[in-house]
């Protein structure tokens, strides 16, 4: 019963490099999300998906892309990494009913140097 | 423009006493409010939620109170235990698809 699995846990990127953060869930949740958390700040929504093939922008989408080809997987792509993208990234999934809350992954700590 | 604010960055409470964590919001269209708990190097864990049409919800040691006229909610933990030491985030839902807006968090320390 893995829940939400994120890989990698840590990564250092050089400015201008690209990478994909992986996220997979095994709870058959339709809704999935990517958030970033900067020091001393709350989590901010980057992108979300309400089902396979359906994605939309959140509050801070610039510099990122997503895809959702299956119910289970929701990768986040960083193109041309910048120091401003240094953050901790959390993937989450949920049922349609908001009162059950999200299940979060353990996070990816990304540093861009 | 912070729509969800947690004005206390930290709180220290003695074991066995009540912990009260506060959250203020500005958007009257929020339909659900949720609290999450986060330990270091882990993702947040869902604790409890409350609908905007309710004023109280309880789950074991955790109770959330909502005061809509003041746009204020609070999480009460009774009795507090050392294992409750964590960062607590308040979040609010609006606009469908369970998108959440989070506060900056309050670090709770429960000491013996």
Q: What are B64-93's pLDDT values in tens digits?
A: 999 999 999 999 999 999 999 999 999 999
Identify the pLDDT of residue A2.
Answer: 76
Report CA-CA distances (Å) from A65 to A52, A55, B45, B59: 15, 10, 26, 38
Closest by alpha carbon to A68, among A26, A108, A33, A105?
A33
HSE-up of A42 (CA within 13 Å, CB side)?
A: 25
Q: Which residue has the tokens 């708990």?
A: B37
Contact A43, A90 (CB under 8 A): yes
Does 3.40.50.10490 match the CATH number of domain B4-111?
A: no
Contacting residues of B for A103, CB less than 8 Å apart: 46
| Interface residue of A95, A102, A105 to substitute, partner B, most B CBs within 10 Å | A102
Low-confidence ranges of chain A (pLDDT < 50): none
Question: Which member of B4, B34, B46 has the closest CB to residue A42?
Answer: B4
Identify the pLDDT of residue B2.
Answer: 79
Q: What are A76-91's pLDDT values in tens digits?
A: 999 999 999 999 999 9
B61: which DSSP letter?
Answer: T
d(CA A35, CA A41): 12
Structure-block tokens of residue A44:
């901010």
Closest by alpha carbon to A108, among B11, B82, B34, B41?
B41
Contacting residues of A for B44, CB less than 8 Å apart: 43, 90, 102, 104
What structural domains does chain A harbor? Answer: 4-112 (2.60.40.10)
d(CA B30, CA B65): 15
Q: Is A63 helix (H, G, I), strand (E, B) or coil?
A: coil
| pLDDT class of B1 with cuts at 50, 70, 90 | low
| pLDDT class of B38 with cuts at 50, 70, 90 | very high
- ∠ Cα A23 A26 A31 (to 5°): 65
| pLDDT class of B96 with cuts at 50, 70, 90 | confident
Q: Taking the CB of residue A112, how many other CB atoms lie within 10 A of it?
A: 19
Beta carbons of A99 and B32 less than 8 Å apart: yes
């Amino acid at each position: 019963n893995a829940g939400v699995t994120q890989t990698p846990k840590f990564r250092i990127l050089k400015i201008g490099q690209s990478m994909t953060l992986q996220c997979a869930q095994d709870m058959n949740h339709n809704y999935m999300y990517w958030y970033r958390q900067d020091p001393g700040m709350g989590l901010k929504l980057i992108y979300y998906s309400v089902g396979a093939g359906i994605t939309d922008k959140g509050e801070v989408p610039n510099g990122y892309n997503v895809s959702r080809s299956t119910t289970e997987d929701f990768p986040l792509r960083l193109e041309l990494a910048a120091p401003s993208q240094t953050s901790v990234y959390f993937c989450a999934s949920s049922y349609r009913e908001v009162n059950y809350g999200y299940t979060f992954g353990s996070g990816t700590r990304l540093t861009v140097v | 423009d912070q729509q969800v604010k947690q004005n206390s960055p930290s709180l220290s409470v003695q074991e066995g006493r009540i912990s009260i964590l506060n959250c203020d919001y500005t958007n009257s269209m929020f339909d659900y409010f949720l609290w999450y708990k986060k330990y270091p190097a882990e993702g947040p864990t869902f604790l409890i939620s409350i609908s905007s049409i309710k004023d109280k919800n309880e789950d074991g040691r955790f109770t959330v109170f909502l005061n809509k006229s003041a746009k204020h909610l609070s999480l009460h933990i009774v009795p507090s235990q050392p294992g409750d030491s964590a960062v607590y985030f308040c979040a609010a839902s609006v606009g469908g698809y369970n998108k959440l807006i989070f506060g900056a968090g309050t670090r709770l320390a429960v000491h013996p």
